[in-house]
Amino acid sequence: MEFCDECGSMMMGEGDVWVCKSCGNEQPKGDSASYTTTAAQEESEVIESGAENSGLPTTSAQCPECGNDRAYWYMQQIRAADESETRFFVCTECEHKWREDDH
């Protein structure tokens, strides 16, 4: 799938070109150079094991497993849209996960 550089609309494939049905812009197909990655780019995308929570904010929360008083947290909608989000916690020490629901 391609999007038009001129107007942003979705382009349709016709033979060897992509054609924008909105503005008529044409781009050649098969220009894969814009989609290739270098080895340096691939290496920079690797996330070290155990570092998956490092980007999350922390808060004061008592871990039910080890008693640690700090945890990473995030919120996620897991029920109907008209229900409140669920707060998830991950202990900064033992990485135990638990959740807290609003009642």
23 labeled binding residue: yes
**Are 90 and 83 in contact, with CB atoms under 8 Å apart?**
no
83 labeled binding residue: no
What secondary structure does DSSP assign to 15-62, as a single string?
Answer: TTEEEETTT--EEETT-GGGG---HHHHHHT---TT-TTTTS-EEE--
66 labeled binding residue: yes
82 labeled binding residue: no
Q: DSSP 3-state assignment of 101? A: coil
Q: Please state, in angstroms and rounded to a whole number, the distance separating the CA atoms of residues 33 and 88.
A: 41
Name the one residue in this structure whose structure tokens are 């691939």: 42
77 labeled binding residue: no
68 labeled binding residue: no
Annotated binding-site ranges: 4, 7, 20, 23, 63, 66, 91, 94
Annotated binding-site ranges for Zn(2+): 4, 7, 20, 23, 63, 66, 91, 94
